[in-house]
Structure 1
Amino acid sequence: MKNRKVLIVEYKTDSTGNLDGELKALRYNVKKTSFKLEELGDVAKEYAPHIMIVDMSVHADKNIIAKASKAQFELSIPVIYFTEAINSRTLYQTMKTDHYGYIYTPYDESTLQTTIELALHKHKNDVSVRESEFKYKELFNHMTSGVAIYELQDFGSRYALVDINTVAEQLIGRTRDDLLSKPLTMVFLNAVQYGILDTVKRVQTTYKPETMKAHYYEDENFNGWFNNHIYKLPTGEIVHIFHEITEQLEAEKELKAKQKELELLNVELAKTVVEETDKRRKNEQVLFEQSRFLAMGQMISAIEHQWRQPLSALGINIEDLEDAYITGDLDSDYIHDLTKDSMVLIKTISKTMEDLNSFFRTSQTEEIFSIPEMLSEVYGLILSRLFNSDISFHIVYTKDDSTTEAHDKEVLNFIKKIRDFQAEGVPAEFKQVIINILNNAIDAILEKKSSSTEHIQGHISLEIDKRENDINIYIRDNGIGITHDAIGKIFEPYYTTKESGSGIGLYMSKTIIEQNMKGKLNSSPLPNGAIFTINLPLTPKKN
């Protein structure tokens, strides 16, 4: 009882006797006021009692009953009436309020305390019930499905509507007031024809919930497709939940139609992709062959220089043979030396022919090949062009943080010593990529030389950085370089900065490295030249 506040409202001063003293003895906090006071509600709000005792000792006062009832509602507190002997008029007036009992005089301490505590307990339960009802109504009326609740009435002859939520009103097109107490067949006018009434009767009998999925319903008030769920409450009422799915079904129908269209479109698209892919492959094959022919022209030009020296030496040997015959110097030693020297020259020419034949081998079969071996063959083919163009060549090999290098004539022997890594692809294609890049580097250096009045020493370096699973090949030159405008275009087909260029060499090189060999080919300008970077996955050697 401690800390519980009691507000006593007296008809006149001390009309309740020692009620306040007895309540204080029971450890209640007590305040007394007169109901002649105009602002009873304000006093009650300020004091905030847990319970209010209103004096009805003489007669019932409509005003005080009204004020007490208002305070009870606004402050949510219970009201008990105090009286010596209640008369019919007082009883009638107080019964119209939601009061929580009477305190009759004389009374004892036990009765007084019991009356107050029962009132407080009952009021607490009433508040809890009201809150539950409020939550139920809020939940009920905010459901996205329509809900109708029926009760079996008139000795089981009809199902009457006892509650309906807001969504159900909207779906049916009628108000709650219009529908309450109406039989099921007046809520759903065609409940019999569409099987709703029979389903309700079965659920009433079996207690087993039933669901009517994608069920069409129509009457003069509304129509549409609904999912229906009907079940029976423990208290006997039948709950009918119906959710409109007309838009959902229409959307699903439209979606299926779109999916069908998409399937047909995908078939046509797949056909187009196959045709375009085939067309692209044919175009790329044409470009590849054009690139090979261009490279062949460059190689033949290089071989022209490479063969000139041994052919010239062979011519001198033949002329010297005639002179030796005339002068009588033609003996066995002379013949032996001449033959030996001539065979060396012939083997040099033959080796060049073999390298050329290997480079332009037409096989397109993928295989595992040695990268250093391919680099060696390419270097053998361009060596003469490098020499005739006054361009030095430098190779660097890095493995496990260890670096070795070689220059010019030492390069071929150096490459033979590092044949310990391999890749997968078409060897001729890989060689074509390297020769394309090296020929472009030579052309860039020659263009720079021709545009300068000073002597420029051309230089090309090929750096190999071997790692555990892949390899980077860097080809640098000190030629005219690449402009920032051109850097994003040089790998596009038919783009060229040369007057006589075709614009397919670098395009095919990138296609070979990235599509065929699953690597990367990029280029960047340098302060004095350009750099091309090839990254390739390595193929492990078989044990």
Structure 2
Amino acid sequence: LNQIMLEQGFVKNRELSLCKKDGAMIIASISTVAVKDENGNVKYFDGIIEEITERKRAEQDLKESEEKFRILAENIPGVIYLSLNDEMKTLVYLNDEVKKLTGYSKEEFMRNDITFSDLYHPDDKADIHSVKDNSLKQKSAFHLVYRIKDKYGKQHWIEEYGIGVLRENNAILLEGFMIDITSRKKVEMALIENEEKFRELFNNMSSGVAVYEAHDNGNDFVFKDINKTSEMIEKVSRNEIIGKSVLDVFPSIKEFGLFEVFQKVWKTGNPEHHPVSFYQDEKIAGWRENYVYKLPSGEIVAVYDDITRRKQAEEQVKKNLEEKEVLLQEIHHRVKNNMQVVSSLLRMQSRYFKDEFDKKLILDSRNRVNSMALIHESLYQSKDLSQIDFEYYIKNLIGHLISTFGSKAEHIKYKQNINKIFLNINKAIPCGLIVNELISNSIKYAFPDGKEGEISINMELKDNEYTLFVFDNGVGLPEEVDFLKPESLGLQLISALTKQLHGTVDLERKNGTYYTIRFKKEFTG
């Protein structure tokens, strides 16, 4: 240092490391100048020594801070900038991330070959400039979301945070941070689109839909949303009930039973069906059917239908059916009575016949009329007017024939096995007439001279086909009688009635007479 001072005659702001008396090291700045005599010889040095230890530390800290900022700025996934408050918004600082975002280099921006304003979407440009100008004016923070078009024509969504700042020289600068949110924006737009589709579906569902949020640990449920169908069903406005308790909007919901279902679904997470029930309060009344679910978010959803009109229609149909059943019962009753009148007339008429053959003809006709009257009596007494319990009918028919034939029928045993066979009237009448003819023939001809015997009537349904068996163990049908070409009215009736059933009839003459009649169940007329 002495050598430099002698050679140069001065030293300016020379930094030195000095050791203090206590041994501590400090940094000092020395500035000195040589004072010379008339001959130019240095007489002494005049100078200033200043300790700059704290300043040097501050400078080192600043340098380290700037280095950290540089590393952060160059590695952060976004654009950091600092610009002047001039017309071009000339950039003072810009990190390298700008090329990834825009396709243009940092140098192109710094030279103003390209500006951010050149990249703004035309529809967003005015708003961006307005917000940034206001930030500079007010020296306040701002937040923007807008679109830019990069060097290659690709559109990006940008989110930018910035602030107008005042520097030491009273210069106002704009500093900010920009990130590319294109991917996030696409997701948001997709969600918005899905939300719109859901809302469209939600509001156009034919069923009512209501969304509830549980409060007070499931002791109350508050409306979060309802669709348009719910508004129409319940005669309420969505805006009026959102945020209100379901107990206030529907005060009878506990008596209705739905509130308990809400609590159960909220606790268990399992969906529940609340069956068709009648709801009524001071404002509304109607039949409702509810299906209740719990969403992953915890809300309760009730999807329901107003089936009041359907229930009213069902009640009307039920009423009409009851009226028709009463009418049909009355018709069957009157038909039965008229047939009994015809039977009584035939019985009275038979008294005037002296010929036994003529009397038998009248008796056969009476039995046929009575067999049909029994059908109508069974329908009249039945709860189901569409079908007849054929076992019950045959039991009554046998009783009637025993009463008609008197002693001639009393020594015969009657067996029947017709378990759970039900026939409609179109099958019951021809079937009943066939059984009447077969039993009557057996009583009259199978057991002459008071011979004891047995008549069996069995019927079964198998593979959609009815099979009727009528058997007697009497003397049997004479061989000379051609069953396929019968001359008697009774056998002709059996053949004709079997055809009416679209069925078949078979005859066996072994150990008596054995008739087998078969016909399909689905035949209706």
Shorter-chain TM-score: what band? 0.3 to 0.5
TM-score by length of 1: 0.35
Query: Which structure has the higher relative contact order (CA within 8 Å, separation 6+)?
Result: 1
TM-score by length of 2: 0.36
Structure 1 or 2: larger strand share? 2
